[in-house]
């Protein structure tokens, strides 16, 4: 496989860069920042794409535009053209691969890159084998695919004999039998068997429910038969009950007739007493007596209410008398002295109040600082006096200062007393002081009386006297109210006596009345008789109305005859209690309801039973299907277990063979390293992690850490070339970007000579060397071998 041409339309700093490559070694040279490394990255991006995010933004065209390019290459004797337009993400890339030989497009499988599809290796393997950069060119990333290919080759001699493919086939076969796939065989069969088992359990449950329903149907059938028989007996007795009801209705009419006649008799008797022509009361007499009695009771109620008010007033007055206020007697005792002293005190108090009000109305005088208070002045002066006296023991002159301080304090005191500096005139201050002194003398003069009364000064005595006067007025008002109510009760009692006298006069025409009690008794008897008369009249009318409604236009004699005939027909049943009627009705209704409910329940149970398909053949069919499914599941389980054992055995064998790939890679790497170093190092040992080391002639293994950086680059280059030779079915292009940066001139010449020789012998594929060093060009020219030189500007 070889790359014939690349065309970087827009890629990073490259715009319209087109290069043509030939077979063998191609040396692409140019100064720094001419895009050599970008060309290598362009080839990688075309075959394997670019990552996302910052990595994709790193290759955005410098001059704007869209990432775009074309590569022409030959593979398997066919020519191909790969074009790619890069989108915002890898999934948005537009890739086109055409076979120029056949003129047909090549379909790349989904989620595959062109390099994976054409070369058969992934991006990581491509970078770790034929894509060689700077900085010691170690193998990076995941080496699983490299190890797998090496193991396949070591085990079978054929790198295409993929253990992965075999493992995938085994896993696929296992997944077909058991996995999370919707079409996996074993889960589907197990689910089907579980459903059949559930159906069988449901059938068993339904069979048990059917047996229960059959028992219920039998019980309900017997119950319906019993209730039908009971209902027939009850309905047979229904005619007797109807005759009894008819008889009770007729007897009720006869009873109403007798009750009406009884009420009429009592009414006539009492009416004759009250309203007879010979001995009855006069027209309107009873009404007048009732009015007089109502007047009497109303008047008596007024007297009772007024008596309660009078008693309450007397009780309040007695409470005042029993609980006199403290100091009341003392005040009455010294009333003259107290009144005279209070007159004097009130005059002095009013005078002082007027003087203070006048002083408040005067314009305010500017005051001194807030700290200049009498207390502060006295404290400062006192402290100075004490200090100067103590200092006088040292120097007598300080006694003079002590005296001056005392004089200042005294002068300030006098100024405060006379009003100087406080906004008061001396005369005002003296007048206030005189009033305060007079009030004080009056309090001292009245002290015995004040103490006996229980107050502190004349002000409290004044308030107490004022309060006492109010209490006295309240007590006087209550006594006046008591006397007024006493007079009103006398008037009401006089009116009550007049009403009673008129009642006695009215009753004197009919009976002898000795006193008020006799009169009240007679009136109550007359009132009761009149009430009874009205009640008997109302009862008579009600009974007559009920009798007429029950008679319903029939003759009473017909009712009596019909009742007598029913008694003869019923015979002994005529004495059946009325309570038996209601119990019979209840029994008949209950029997009908129970029979209806039993028939409905029977129909429901029979319907449920008919809907249940519990044929024995259905159970047998389910058992047979479960047995067949269980046999299939057992066979597939055996196959699945065998596939699992085969997969485990393959994994164990692969891991064992993977440990043996060392000799193959060691041999190829050692041979290449001997060519690159001129035979100085001829043995390489590679670990399982593809970390190389040098094996010296004495057998000692030496790590690369102790070697020079140029030697380390030679070792890694040999290892990469060895791996590249066995990973692909054909030789892939080998790309080197400043891979000889740490080589000296001799090593550079040896490395180029080896690559040219191997490429001419077709043991390696096309070689693309990207460099900015003149010594690489010189070494290529000096080799005398065929090379292609391409300058990048």
Residue 207 domain-assigned (yes or no)? no
Tokens, residue 159: 């790198």
Q: How far apart are CA 85 and CA 82, in angstroms?
A: 10
Q: Select from 708, 727, 746 the last residue of a domain.
A: 727
Residues 93 and 3 both lie in one domain: yes
Residues 93 and 154 both lie in one domain: no
Half-sphere exposure of 508 (CA within 13 A, CB side): 10
Residues 384 and 431 both lie in one domain: yes
The reported pLDDT for the residue numbered 258 is: 85
Sequence-distant (6+) residues with CB within 8 A of 436 are 352
Residue 228 domain-assigned (yes or no)? no
Total Cβ atoms within 10 A of residue 387: 14
Answer yes or no: are the C-beta atoms of 557 and 250 closer than 8 Å.
no
Residue 557 domain-assigned (yes or no)? no
Q: How far apart are CA 538 and CA 527, in angstroms?
A: 17
Answer yes or no: are the C-beta atoms of 9 and 772 closer than 8 Å.
no
430-451 residues labelled b (16+ CB within 10 A) or e (exposed):
eebeebeebbeebbeebeebbe
Answer yes or no: are the C-beta atoms of 685 and 666 closer than 8 Å.
yes
Residues 96 and 157 both lie in one domain: no
Residue 146 buriedness (CB in 10 A; 0-12 / 13-18 / 19+): buried
Residues 668 and 788 both lie in one domain: no
663: region left, alpha or beta (phi > 0 left; psi from -120 to 50 alpha) = alpha
- Which is nearest to 770 in space by CA: 732, 730, 741? 741
Answer yes or no: are the C-beta atoms of 501 and 493 closer than 8 Å.
no
- Which is nearest to 734 in space by CA: 32, 122, 27, 8? 27
47-75 residues labelled b (16+ CB within 10 A) or e (exposed):
bbbbeeeeebeebebeeeeebbbbbbbbe
Residue 514 domain-assigned (yes or no)? no
Helix (H, G, I), strand (E, B) or coil at 104: strand
Residues of the chain with pLDDT under 50: 135-136, 141-144, 150-151, 153-161, 277, 364-367, 421-424
Residues 436 and 334 both lie in one domain: yes
> Domain limits at 350?
327-456
Helix (H, G, I), strand (E, B) or coil at 79: strand
The reported pLDDT for the residue numbered 366 is: 46
Sequence-distant (6+) residues with CB within 8 A of 542 are none
Q: Compute the C-alpha angle 491/494/500, nearest 5°.
A: 145
Q: How far apart are CA 129 and CA 590, in angstroms?
A: 101
Total Cβ atoms within 10 A of residue 98: 16
Count of structural domains within the chain? 3
- Strands 68-75 and 2-11, sheet pairing: antiparallel
Q: Select from 432, 456, 480 the last residue of a domain.
A: 456
Sheet with 788-791: list strands edge to edge: 131-132, 734-737, 767-771, 25-29, 788-791
Residue 422 domain-assigned (yes or no)? yes
Q: Whose structure tokens read 């309450």?
A: 312
Helix (H, G, I), strand (E, B) or coil at 207: helix
The reported pLDDT for the residue numbered 134 is: 62
Residue 7 domain-assigned (yes or no)? yes
The reported pLDDT for the residue numbered 455 is: 85
Residue 52 domain-assigned (yes or no)? yes
The reported pLDDT for the residue numbered 153 is: 42
Residue 642 domain-assigned (yes or no)? no
Helix (H, G, I), strand (E, B) or coil at 133: coil
- Which is nearest to 672 in space by CA: 788, 764, 569, 793? 764
**CA dihedral in degrees (115, 120, 122, 123; nearest 10)?**
-40
Residues 393 and 379 both lie in one domain: yes
Tokens, residue 340: 């005279």
549-558 residues labelled b (16+ CB within 10 A) or e (exposed):
ebeeeeeeee
Residues 26 and 82 both lie in one domain: yes
Residues 739 and 762 both lie in one domain: yes
Half-sphere exposure of 228 (CA within 13 A, CB side): 8
- Which is nearest to 42 in space by CA: 787, 735, 777, 791? 735
Q: What is the pTM of this model?
A: 0.41
Answer yes or no: are the C-beta atoms of 747 and 740 closer than 8 Å.
yes
Q: Select from 419, 438, 456 the last residue of a domain.
A: 456
652-670 tens-digit pLDDT:
766 665 555 567 777 888 8
Total Cβ atoms within 10 A of residue 238: 12
Residues 106 and 43 both lie in one domain: yes
- Strands 734-737 and 767-771, sheet pairing: parallel
Answer yes or no: are the C-beta atoms of 737 and 40 closer than 8 Å.
yes
Residues 342 and 443 both lie in one domain: yes
Tokens, residue 150: 């090496």
Sequence-distant (6+) residues with CB within 8 A of 688 are 147, 658, 659, 662
Residue 514 CA from chain centroid, whole number: 93
Sign of the alpha-carbon dihedral angle for 498, 504, 508, 513: negative
Q: How far apart are CA 565 and CA 580, in angstroms?
A: 22
The reported pLDDT for the residue numbered 136 is: 44
Answer yes or no: are the C-beta atoms of 151 and 654 closer than 8 Å.
yes
Residues 358 and 445 both lie in one domain: yes
Residue 74: CATH number of its domain: 3.40.50.300
Answer yes or no: are the C-beta atoms of 70 and 9 closer than 8 Å.
yes
Q: How far apart are CA 619 and CA 200, in angstroms?
A: 7
Residue 153 CA from chain centroid, whole number: 64
């Amino acid at each position: 496989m070889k790359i014939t041409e690349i065309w970087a339309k827009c890629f990073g700093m490259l715009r319209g860069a087109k290069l043509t490559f030939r077979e063998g070694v191609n040396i692409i040279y140019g100064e720094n920042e001419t895009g050599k490394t970008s060309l290598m990255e362009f080839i990688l991006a075309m075959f394997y794409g670019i990552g996302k995010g910052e990595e994709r933004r790193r290759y955005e065209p410098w001059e704007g535009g869209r990432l775009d390019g074309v590569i022409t290459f030959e593979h398997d004797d066919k020519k191909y053209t790969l074009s790619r337009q890069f989108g915002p993400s890898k999934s948005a890339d537009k890739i086109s691969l055409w076979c120029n030989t056949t003129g047909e497009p090549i379909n790349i499988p989904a989620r595959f890159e062109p390099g994976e599809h054409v070369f058969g290796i992934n991006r990581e393997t491509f970078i770790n084998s034929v894509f060689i950069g700077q900085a010691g060119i170690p193998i990076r990333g995941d080496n699983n695919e490299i190890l797998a290919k090496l193991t396949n080759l070591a085990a079978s001699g054929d790198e295409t004999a993929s253990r992965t493919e075999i493992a995938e086939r085994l896993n696929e076969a296992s997944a077909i039998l058991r996995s999370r796939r919707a079409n996996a065989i074993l889960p589907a069969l197990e689910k089907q068997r579980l459903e059949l088992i559930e159906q069988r359990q449901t059938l068993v449950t339904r069979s048990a429910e059917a047996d229960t329903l059959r028992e219920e149907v039998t019980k309900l059938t017997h119950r319906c038969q019993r209730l039908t028989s009971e209902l027939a007996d009850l309905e047979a007795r229904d005619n007797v009950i109807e005759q009894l009801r008819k008889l009770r209705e007729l007897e009720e009419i006869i009873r109403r007739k007798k009750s009406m006649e009884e009420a009429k008799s009592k009414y006539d008797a009492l009416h004759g007493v009250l309203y007879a022509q010979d001995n009855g009361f006069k027209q309107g007499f009873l009404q007048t007596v009732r009015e007089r009695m109502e007047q009497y009771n109303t008047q008596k109620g007024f007297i009772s209410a007024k008596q309660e008010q009078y008693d309450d007033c007397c009780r309040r007055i007695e409470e005042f008398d029993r609980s006199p206020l403290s100091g009341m007697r003392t005040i009455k005792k010294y009333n003259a002295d107290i009144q005279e002293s209070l007159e004097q005190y009130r005059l002095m108090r009013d005078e002082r109040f007027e003087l203070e009000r006048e002083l408040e109305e005067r314009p305010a005088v500017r005051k001194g600082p807030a700290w200049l208070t009498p207390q502060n002045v006295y404290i400062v002066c006192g402290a100075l006096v004490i200090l100067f006296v103590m200092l006088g023991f040292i120097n007598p002159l300080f006694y003079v200062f002590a005296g001056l301080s005392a004089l200042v304090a005294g002068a300030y005191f006098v100024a405060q007393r006379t009003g100087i500096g406080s906004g008061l005139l001396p005369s005002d201050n003296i007048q206030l002081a005189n009033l305060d002194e007079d009030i004080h003398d009056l309090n001292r003069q009245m002290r015995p009386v004040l103490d006996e009364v229980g107050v502190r000064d004349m002000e409290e005595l004044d308030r107490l006297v004022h309060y006492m006067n109010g209490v006295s007025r309240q007590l006087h008002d209550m006594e006046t109210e008591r006397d007024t109510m006493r007079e009103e009760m006398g008037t009401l009692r006089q009116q009550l006596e007049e009403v009673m006298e008129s009642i006695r006069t009215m009753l004197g025409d009919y009976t002898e009345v000795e006193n008020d009690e006799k009169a009240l008794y007679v009136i109550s008897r007359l009132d009761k008789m009149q009430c009874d008369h009205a009640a008997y009249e109302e009862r008579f009318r009600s009974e007559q109305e009920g009798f007429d409604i029950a008679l319903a236009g029939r003759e009473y004699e017909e009712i009596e005859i019909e009742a007598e005939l029913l008694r003869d027909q019923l015979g002994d049943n005529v004495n059946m209690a009325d309570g038996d009627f209601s119990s019979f009705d209840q029994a008949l209704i209950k029997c009908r309801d129970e029979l209806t409910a039993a028939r409905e329940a029977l129909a429901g149970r029979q319907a449920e039973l008919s809907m249940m398909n519990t044929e024995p053949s259905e159970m047998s069919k389910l058992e047979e299907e479960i047995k067949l499914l269980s046999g299939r599941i057992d066979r597939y389980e055996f196959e699945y277990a065998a596939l699992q054992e085969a997969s485990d055995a393959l994994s164990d064998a692969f891991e064992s063979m993977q440990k043996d790939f060392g000799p193959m890679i060691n041999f190829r790497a050692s041979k290449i390293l001997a060519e690159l170093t001129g035979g100085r190092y001829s043995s390489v040992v590679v670990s399982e992690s593809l970390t190389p080391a040098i094996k010296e002639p004495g057998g000692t293994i030496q790590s690369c850490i102790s070697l020079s950086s140029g030697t380390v680059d030679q070792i890694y280059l040999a290892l990469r070339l060895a791996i590249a030779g066995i990973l692909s079915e054909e030789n892939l292009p080998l790309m080197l970007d400043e891979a000889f940066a740490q080589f000296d001139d001799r090593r550079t010449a040896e490395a180029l000579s080896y690559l040219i020789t191997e490429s001419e012998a077709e043991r390696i594929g096309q070689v693309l060397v990207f460099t900015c060093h003149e010594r690489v060009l010189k070494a290529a020219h000096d080799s005398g071998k065929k090379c292609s030189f391409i300058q990048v500007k």
